[in-house]
Structure formats: structure tokens, C-alpha cells
Structure 1
Amino acid sequence: MNPIYKAVESLDWITIVLFFSMVVLALGKYLFQSRFWNFMILPFNNRYVVLYNKKGQLLNWFHILLTIFQLVNLSLFVFLLQKDLFNLSSQSPVQYFFTIMGVLVLFQIIKVLLQFTKGFVFNTMELVSELSFSKITYLNYSSLIMFISNIVLVYIFKDSKIVLYTALILIVSINLIGVAKLLKNHQKAIISYFLYFILYLCALEIAPLVIVGSYLKD
């Protein structure tokens, strides 16, 4: 009987990535316990956004830690998504993961800078700050779903399309809840700047999603 060579993909780097994100989340919970528990009930109660949506909250350490957690898990989720549903790049898995993370970090930084530039030009800085904080907060919350789905996809149900699609539905649902509450809470301000809001949606919300979707398909 001739031996059959079987390549086994190493999961060590993914374990390190998930452990790092878990440490970041635990650090946020430990340092900001009250804020953390308000954050945990976000989709069911908008208290977190109401309490903490003030000037400068984007640079708050709890928000920064949760954004790091989000970027790490979003990068890994996109990596697993493209690996399981599309053709994975010829790059090594680790290199490809960090490429994805670099693109996502750069994308979010440029997006926030453009938002605040628009706010400065049209004198809507306060509104832009509140909108940015609310949207990022809901995206950060949806990263909890990404974290759980990443663990399930890597260690339990490997390459499961059902898990991927379920996670995608939950992630989109959470962010749609955030958008609905944002529109409800700021409807008067949005109506006052309706033209600017439409330009904002087209340039900074819809267009990036089209670009990212095209990238994933290609």
C-alpha cells in the first residue's frame, strides 16, 4: 500500500487572530463594564447610542477597542467568505488575510475622513459625527456575529455555506436596524439636509458596497 500525501491546512494563525480579538473584547468589557452591557443590548434598546453619541466619541477607548475587534473579525469573515464561496487568491492565506485587513482599515479611514470633510464643507459636522458614530457602533455590534461565525466556520462546521448565509443575514439585519433607528432619530435633521444626505448615500454608502461586491466576485 502506497502512502497518500494529504495536505492539512494549519489553523494556528487563525487561532491567534481569534484569540487576539477575544482579548480586545475582554479588555473592553473589563475597562468599561457599564458601557459594555449597554452596548450588548444595542439592537433591542438604543440607550447606548443615546448616552454616548457625543462629540469625540469616535476617539473614545471603548469605541476604538470595539472597532479593532470589528476590523479583525470582519477581515477574517471576508477571508472565509471568499475562500468558501469564491476563488481564493494565489497568495498565502496569512498574507491574503492581512491584505484584506489593510484594505478594510484604509477603506474605513478614508470613508470617515471623507464624511468629516463633507461635514466641514457643508457645516454639518455635528450631524456627520452622530451618523458616523451610530453606523460604526452597529457595525461593531454585528462583529459579535462575525466572531461567533468565524469560530463555527473554522472549528465546527468547516466551509458551511449555511453558516455563512445565516451570518450574512444576521449581520445585514443588525445594520439595517441601525439605519432604521438612525433615520428615525435624525429625520428632522436629514429632511433639512435632504440633498446632502442623498449625495452622502450615493458617494459614501452605496458606491463602496458596489466596489467591494465587484471585488469579491472577481
Structure 2
Amino acid sequence: MNPVYKTIESLDWITIVLFFSMVVLALGKYLFQNRFLNFMILPFNNKYVVLYNKKGRLFNWFHILLTIFQLINFSLFLFLVLNVFFTVPSDNNPSSFLIIMAGLLLFQIVKILLQFGQGYVFNTQGLISELLFNKISYLNYSSLVMFVSNIVLIYVLNDSKIIISVAIILIISINVIGLTRLLKNHQKAIIPYFFYFILYLCALEIAPLVLVGSYLKD
């Protein structure tokens, strides 16, 4: 009877990444319990945005911790998607994940700086801050879907395109809910700056997606 050799890829670094992101999430829950509870019902109740939009906004520890959680899981989710749909050779190498995370971090920082710059030029800093807080809050919430999807894709249903598709639909749905509520709750503030709002959407929201989509298609 000949022995059958089975190659088992090491998941140590992915486990560490997921564990670290879970620690970050747990730390946010432990230090800011009331805020975390309001955050958990964000798509169903906009209380979190209403309560905390003007209390430190982007630069408070809870928001920073959740953004770190989002960055880690967003990067890992992109890593898995690229390997499933675009067969990017990675050999389970963490360097590919780190490159994606560095690129995503740089992209988000540049984008935020451009948005603040646009707010300064057109004297709409307050409106831009509210837009950013709302948008990042919903993106942070959608990272919970990414976290669960990452666990399923790595440990349960490897390379499942169905899981990825469902996750993407949920992520888009959560952020569409956020955008809809943003337009509804801030329509009085947006109408006077409607031209700048359209410019903001075209230049800093739609254009990057078109560029990324064109790059992946090529």
C-alpha cells in the first residue's frame, strides 16, 4: 500500500491576521460598550450616526479601532477574491496580503485628504466631515460581513464563489443604505452645495471605482 502525500498549506499567518482583527473589535466593544451597541444596529437604526457624528467624528478611538478592523478584513477579503476570480499567484504568501493592505491604506488616506481639500476649497468642510463619517461608519459595519466571509472562505468553504458573491451583495447593500440615509437626513445641507456634491461623487467616489474596475478587467 503506497502512502498518499497530501500538501497542507499553512494558514498560520491568516489565522494571526483574523485573530488580531478580532482583538481590535473586542477592544472597541470593551472600551466603548454603549457606542458599540449603537453601532451594531447601524443599518436598521441610524442612531449611531445621529449621536456620534459631531462627537469627535473621525478622530476618536472607537472609530479608529473599527477602521483598523475594516482595513484588515477588507484587505484579506480582496486577497481572497483576487485569488478566486483572477487566479493571482500568491502561494499563500503574506507579502501579497501586505501589499494589498498597504495599497488600500494609501488609497483611503489620499482619498480622505482630497476630500478634505475639496471641502476647504469650496468651504464645505462641515458637510464633507459628515459625509466621511457616515460613509466610513457604514463601510466599517460592512467589514463585519467581510470578517465572517473571510472565516468561511478560509476554514469552511474554500474558494467559494457563492460566498464571495453573497458577501459582495451584502456589502453593497449596507453601503447603499448608508448613502440613502445620508441623502435623506442631509438633503437640506446638500441642496445648497448640490453642484459640489455631484463633483464630489464623480471625482472622488465614482472615478476611483471606474479606474480600479478597468485595471482588473485588463
- The normalised TM-score by structure 1 is 0.95
Deviation per CA, 1:153-185: give whole Å up to 9, x if none. Answer: 000011111111000000000000000000101
Q: Report the Cα distance in structure 2 between the residues aligned to 1:217 and 1:3, rounded to whole angstroms.
A: 43
Report what 1:173 is aligned to: 173
Report what 1:198 is aligned to: 198
Q: Tell me, yes or no, if structure 1 residue 53 matches structure 2 residue 40.
A: no
Q: Tell me, yes or no, if structure 1 residue 147 matches structure 2 residue 147.
A: yes
Q: Report the Cα distance in structure 2 between the residues aligned to 1:97 and 1:41, rounded to whole angstroms.
A: 30
- Residue 140 of structure 1 aligns with an amino acid whose one-letter code is N
Report what 2:162 is aligned to: 162
**4+ residue stretches of structure 1 with deviation over 3 A?**
1-7, 89-92, 215-218
Deviation per CA, 1:171-215: give whole Å up to 9, x if none. Answer: 000000000000101112211111111111111000111122233
1:2 CA drift (Å):
6.1
1:94 CA drift (Å):
0.6
1:7 CA drift (Å):
3.3
Q: Report the Cα distance in structure 2 between the residues aligned to 1:29 and 1:55, rounded to whole angstroms.
A: 18
Report what 1:95 is aligned to: 95
1:6 CA drift (Å):
4.2
Q: Report the Cα distance in structure 1 between the residues aligned to 2:30 and 2:91, rounded to whole angstroms.
A: 37
1:92 CA drift (Å):
5.8
Is the 8 Å Cα contact of residues 55 and 126 (structure 1) preserved in structure 2?
A: no
Task: State the secondary structure of the residue aligned to 1:58.
Answer: coil
Report what 1:17 is aligned to: 17
Percent sequence identity over matched residues?
A: 72
Q: What is the root-mean-square deviation of aligned Cα atoms in Å?
A: 1.5
- The normalised TM-score by structure 2 is 0.95
1:87 CA drift (Å):
2.1
1:88 CA drift (Å):
0.8
Flag structure 1 segments of 5+ consecutive residues without an equivalent.
none
Shift in alpha-carbon separation, 1:55–1:203, aligned structure 2, 3 A: farther
1:100 CA drift (Å):
0.3
Q: Tell me, yes or no, if structure 1 residue 69 matches structure 2 residue 43.
A: no
Q: Tell me, yes or no, if structure 1 residue 188 matches structure 2 residue 188.
A: yes
Deviation per CA, 1:52-80: give whole Å up to 9, x if none. Answer: 00163101000000000000000000000
